Chain A
Amino acid sequence: MIDTQRFTGRIPEQPGGDNTLQVGSVLQNRYRITGVVGVGGMGSVYQARDLRFPNVVRHVAVKEMLNPATDQGVREMTLRTFEREADMLASLSHPAIPGIYDYFPSKTRAYLVMEFINGRDLDAMVNQAAGRLPVDLVQQWALELCDVLGYLHHQKPEPIIFRDVKPSNIMIDQHGRLRLVDFGIAKIFQQGQKGTMIGTEGYSAPEQYRGEASPASDVYGIGATLHHLLTGQDPRLEAPFTFAERPIREVNPDVSPEFEAIIMKALSFEIEDRYPDAAAMHEALERITQPSGGGVAFPVSFGVARDEMDAWSDAEQQGVVALWKFECEDEVRSSPVVHQGVVYVGAYDNNLYAINAADGSFKWKYPAADGVTSSAVVAADENLVLFGSLDHLLYAVDTRVGHLSWTVSTQGPVQSSPTIAHGHVFFGSDDGHLYAVRLSSGRVQWKWFAGAPIRCRPLVTGEMIVVGMESGDVAGVDLSGQMVWRFKAKRAVTSSPIEHDGLVYFGSMDWHVYALDIVHGWKVWAFRTNKPVVSSPALGDDKLFIGSVDGSLYALDLSSGKERWSFKTGGQITSSPAYENNAVYFGGIDTNVYSVDAKSGRLRWSFKTGGPVPSSPALHDGVLYIGSMDHCVYALKA
């Protein structure tokens, strides 16, 4: 793979190193070379002194361009093209474009003499600033950059396309003015080279890799340059075209959402989604720069911010209405379960309620002796609904009539939600045991001593049971009740584990989300949130969704544990998300129920309840059922 280029941060070596002019050489009896400013593949740029002004030191920049063609015809054609380009440049007049003074060809090269700019380029400045250039200053430069490129884009008869907008081609002179340097004149030669693409990796628009360039390509370059200046993230060191995945305000909150939106619009992959040219971008920038005279509305005409706002207002306008709500006598912290047209949900008022899913009408309730905080589960074959209570019992109630079938007594509150599998119900108790109970008889088949309260819902696969404990231990227990492995998190594991393709996933109060090899209990990956994780994960779209007390819902890649997106709410998230049809649903302590697009992490809708929502949603036939601490159970259209 010897032909693979290494393009990052290296200037190509000059072909034939001795081609560079020596300091002291004099060109045209007029320009004495005083230094080398830069060396490029197609020639060098020198600092020179104009000897026609012997009494003052007048510096000029001399740009040298090699004409590598050996064929006489090609050489002359190249030269003519080059002359035309020099003529064109000389005819431009803009304060940000260096003045052109002179032009002369020689045998193997051509020289362009122009204004020497005393200043520093933006690449050097952003490197020195370590990524934090003042936002006001960058916004001012953005205006100046769009102004000069807009000037080029509006040239007649054809717009001039700069093609290579990047920090190293932009200088700030000693007066603080932005100047565009390294005009693409050398590229006329480069175009003759077979296979060479125009543009610098990192700043160039996608279409430039197809050999296409338009004013919108320069707009992309402006966006890429501003992104670099504001984030300090050099795009040459990042995967190409990943600006959208690296929001500016996440790194630099000083940037206004409006400024960010303009930059992100400029960075759209599709040409038609960008500003058509730099002048249009200039206009947008001017609008947000103008001092708001009270009447200037929040700019909504561009970019990401607009979409976000639309999503919000759409949701509000659509007004997700509750199909019904059912009021219990106390807070509903447990999660509903739906079975054959009936919603079963436990409440702090000690009752398990059976509610008609269709209209929210009361069917029956069964009272425990204390609060019901865990979620119920239905054993369909046995016509049982099972739930634990703080009164130390697990209850099995006949779903048809609401009469008690049997109970299992434990030595502590039952806060674990039960799991039905293999004709048994599995659940944990604060007495530190995991119980396996026969559904038919209610007899304890075995109990396994975990050593600490179990409050999660046990995961039961064909071969293994996985439970988390308040000690932070997670155990893999085989179906006969013998421990196979034990994993130690740093804090309690209340989150209920789930399994997919040989891995088991759960969250912990130690702020992490874990993936373990289910056979051995070995840690495959861990993802750190910013607060404890009580929420249980849900899977969908090759992602894992889980809430954190830090207020965000996270979407993680299942196989790598990398964050795909996160969605910030106004409070903690202890509710466990549910996934269906590319949407994620969950409750927030900020009293809202949320629906978020699973691919993008954008809000689909939110619904405000009268209290915090630690309950997790149940989805059935396009309807979402969820409880709130306002005592109500809601049925919402998903």
Chain B
Amino acid sequence: MNFLRRVFGLTPPPAEDDGISITQDADHAGLPEEPVIEPGDNASLPGVDNGDREGASRADDDTDPLLEENLSKMLGTRPLPRLEPPPRLPGQRLTFGQFSDVGMVRGNNQDAILALLASSASIDGMPDFGLFIVADGMGGHHDGEKAASITTRIVAQHVMSEILGAMLDQRMDDPDRPAITEVLREAFQQANRAVATQIPEGGTTASLVTIIGDLAYIAHVGDSRVYQITDTGIEQITRDHSLVQRLIELDQLTPEEAADHPQRNVLYRAIGQNETLDVDAITRRMPPRSRLLLCSDGLWNLVPEETIREISAAHSDPQDVCEKLVELANERGGPDNISVIVVQVPG
């Protein structure tokens, strides 16, 4: 698990690494020792605190770095590149902000959000785990908020047991495990069945981001959205399951026409609507310093993408971004519930 330790800037314990040499010069016994291609430890890298445990520097123990370099030149070889950890400062971890607001018009908040972060430092090198959900319920008689809350609970319960639980149990590499995207799909299916039986008149959207290391797994049904915000721009990475979105994709409607279309709120896919549910599940690698933003339509109906990006760029704390965005949506009338989660990738 060297690699993982390097990724997380951890020092490998001496015992494990001792004597594991990279140079198993099977066919050339007796020849001078080849330069070791094992990358050095992190001690020489700026910004990485390796602590006092220098047991990792076996390369230096075995070979003189200068000799290594000279040998390389003599032999005309290029040593394999050093395995450098991502440029991440110690202690820097995933962070997030969240805010859900009833808005200015509605009497109740039918949105539900859930955020969870597990972060560890140990020789197991377990990657950061994050779980973020926005659900926007629909239906009268409190059915909407019930559908949204049931969905966040059931989805989170399943994902935590099947992914975080499996990570803690170290059985993520069990060959019979379902793929991670399948776990997310199944979590949505369970929520779908629960809403269909418990809240037959209710339904909900659901957008989920699960983070494992530097990969984001996104599952999505309905018209809540997930955006990826980088230094250079903002990109909507979920696709609205709405009638108007579908018409836009087919060039049958312009975005302008869609904005005040009488059926702009008609979804063709939502949790609790049909027996079968088709769940979008995709994977994205998150560049360092990027952000993921999850929100209900109460935000994106009122605050355009570019404004979201500007507000994100103007605030370093993800919590400030959430609060500013909700504030802006409320300033613009806040006709619907507004929910925002911002996930900040370190870097």
Residues A423 and B78 in contact, CB atoms below 8 Å apart: yes
Residues of chain B with a CB closer than 8 A to A94's CB: none
Contact flag A444-B26 (CB < 8 Å), given A4-B267, A209-B253, A209-B261:
yes
Residues B27 and A409 in contact, CB atoms below 8 Å apart: yes
Contact flag A520-B213 (CB < 8 Å), given A440-B77, A482-B20, A525-B179:
yes
Residues B212 and A239 in contact, CB atoms below 8 Å apart: no
A273 CB to closest chain B CB (Å) equals 12
Contact flag A480-B38 (CB < 8 Å), given A1-B265, A424-B80:
yes
B215 CB to closest chain A CB (Å) equals 5
Instruction: Convert A321-351 into 0s and 1s, putting 1 for each residue whose CB lies closer than 8 angstroms to a CB of B.
Output: 0000000000000000000000000000000
Tell me the residues in window 497-527 of chain A with beta carbons closer than 8 Å to chain B beta carbons: 501-503, 514-515, 517, 519-526
Residues A560 and B144 in contact, CB atoms below 8 Å apart: no
Partner of B3, one of A1, A4, A447, A519: A519
Residues B39 and A479 in contact, CB atoms below 8 Å apart: yes
Residues A440 and B4 in contact, CB atoms below 8 Å apart: no
Tell me the residues in window 413-441 of chain A with beta carbons closer than 8 Å to chain B beta carbons: 422-424, 436, 438-441
CA of A327 to CA of B252, assembled, Å? 54
Residues of chain A with a CB closer than 8 A to B203's CB: 6
CA of A486 to CA of B174, assembled, Å? 10
A614 CB to closest chain B CB (Å) equals 28
Partner of A520, one of B172, B261, B273: B172
Partner of B173, one of A207, A478, A487: A487
Contact flag A480-B37 (CB < 8 Å), given A6-B138, A423-B77:
yes
Contact flag A444-B27 (CB < 8 Å), given A206-B247, A523-B177, A524-B180:
yes
Partner of B81, one of A207, A422, A490: A422
B308 CB to closest chain A CB (Å) equals 19
A2, A207, A463, A478: which has the most chain B beta carbons within 10 Å? A2
Partner of B273, one of A8, A440, A445: A8
CA of A520 to CA of B203, assembled, Å? 36
A6, A440, A557: which has the most chain B beta carbons within 10 Å? A6
Residues of chain B with a CB closer than 8 A to A479's CB: 37, 39, 80-81, 83
Tell me the residues in window 439-496 of chain A with beta carbons closer than 8 Å to chain B beta carbons: 439-441, 443-447, 462-464, 476, 478-482, 484-490
Instruction: Convert B224-267 into 0s and 1s, putting 1 for each residue whose CB lies closer than 8 angstroms to a CB of A.
Output: 00000000000000000101101100111100010001110111
Tell me the residues in window 181-210 of chain B with beta carbons closer than 8 Å to chain A beta carbons: 181-182, 203, 205
CA of A478 to CA of B26, assembled, Å? 19
CA of A195 to CA of B264, assembled, Å? 11
A559 on the B face (CB < 8 A): yes
Residues A484 and B23 in contact, CB atoms below 8 Å apart: no
Residues B175 and A487 in contact, CB atoms below 8 Å apart: yes
CA of A447 to CA of B24, assembled, Å? 7
Residues of chain B with a CB closer than 8 A to A447's CB: 24, 26
Residues A443 and B34 in contact, CB atoms below 8 Å apart: yes
Chain B residue at minimum C-beta to C-beta distance from A195 = B262
Residues of chain A with a CB closer than 8 A to B257's CB: 210
Residues B179 and A240 in contact, CB atoms below 8 Å apart: no
CA of A606 to CA of B347, assembled, Å? 49
A342 CB to closest chain B CB (Å) equals 24
Residues A525 and B182 in contact, CB atoms below 8 Å apart: yes
A567 on the B face (CB < 8 A): no
Residues B252 and A210 in contact, CB atoms below 8 Å apart: yes
Tell me the residues in window 2-39 of chain B with beta carbons closer than 8 Å to chain A beta carbons: 2-4, 7, 20, 22-28, 31, 34, 37-39
B284 CB to closest chain A CB (Å) equals 7
CA of A8 to CA of B127, assembled, Å? 42
B110 on the A face (CB < 8 A): yes
Spot the interface stretch: B46-54, B88-96, B274-282, B316-324.
B274-282
Residues of chain A with a CB closer than 8 A to B253's CB: 206, 209-210
Residues of chain B with a CB closer than 8 A to A476's CB: 3
CA of A463 to CA of B137, assembled, Å? 44
Residues of chain B with a CB closer than 8 A to A502's CB: 214-215, 283, 285
Residues A481 and B24 in contact, CB atoms below 8 Å apart: yes
Instruction: Convert B139-182 into 0s and 1s, putting 1 for each residue whose CB lies closer than 8 angstroms to a CB of A.
Output: 11000100000000000000000000000000011010111111
A7 on the B face (CB < 8 A): yes
B312 CB to closest chain A CB (Å) equals 22
Residues A484 and B4 in contact, CB atoms below 8 Å apart: yes
Residues A446 and B22 in contact, CB atoms below 8 Å apart: yes
A196 on the B face (CB < 8 A): yes
Residues of chain B with a CB closer than 8 A to A259's CB: none
Chain B residue at minimum C-beta to C-beta distance from A510 = B175
Residues of chain B with a CB closer than 8 A to A444's CB: 24-28
Instruction: Convert B82-122 into 0s and 1s, putting 1 for each residue whose CB lies closer than 8 angstroms to a CB of A.
Output: 01000000000000000000000010001000000000000
Residues of chain A with a CB closer than 8 A to B39's CB: 479-480
Chain B residue at minimum C-beta to C-beta distance from A477 = B3
Residues of chain A with a CB closer than 8 A to B110's CB: 1-2
Partner of A240, one of B177, B246, B262: B246
Residues A4 and B265 in contact, CB atoms below 8 Å apart: yes
B144 CB to closest chain A CB (Å) equals 6
Contact flag A519-B127 (CB < 8 Å), given A201-B266, A525-B181, A560-B280:
yes
A414 CB to closest chain B CB (Å) equals 14
CA of A439 to CA of B78, assembled, Å? 9
Partner of A4, one of B20, B138, B251: B138
Residues of chain B with a CB closer than 8 A to A422's CB: 78, 80-81
Chain B residue at minimum C-beta to C-beta distance from A205 = B252
Residues of chain A with a CB closer than 8 A to B66's CB: none
Partner of B179, one of A237, A481, A523: A523
Residues of chain A with a CB closer than 8 A to B2's CB: 478, 480, 482, 484
CA of A80 to CA of B2, assembled, Å? 84
Chain B residue at minimum C-beta to C-beta distance from A516 = B179
A559 CB to closest chain B CB (Å) equals 4
A269 on the B face (CB < 8 A): yes
B314 on the A face (CB < 8 A): no
Residues of chain B with a CB closer than 8 A to A514's CB: 179
Partner of A209, one of B22, B77, B243, B267: B243
A432 CB to closest chain B CB (Å) equals 13
A522 CB to closest chain B CB (Å) equals 5
Query: Lowest 9 CB-CB distances: which A-B pairs, in order?
Result: A195-B262, A502-B285, A423-B78, A488-B175, A559-B282, A206-B252, A480-B22, A480-B38, A523-B179
Contacts A/B (CB < 8 Å), 14 sampled: A1-B337, A206-B252, A209-B252, A209-B263, A210-B252, A240-B268, A445-B23, A446-B25, A480-B39, A502-B214, A519-B7, A519-B214, A525-B181, A560-B281
Known: A502-B285, A519-B213. 16 other contacts (CB 8 A): A2-B139, A4-B138, A206-B250, A206-B253, A240-B246, A441-B76, A445-B22, A446-B37, A464-B3, A479-B37, A480-B2, A502-B214, A503-B215, A524-B180, A524-B217, A559-B282
Taking beta carbons and an 8 Å cutoff, which residues of B are in contact with A? 1-4, 7, 20, 22-28, 31, 34, 37-39, 75-81, 83, 106, 110, 127, 136-140, 144, 172-173, 175, 177-182, 203, 205, 212-215, 217, 241, 243-244, 246-247, 250-253, 257, 261-263, 265-269, 273-274, 276, 278, 280-285, 296-297, 336-337
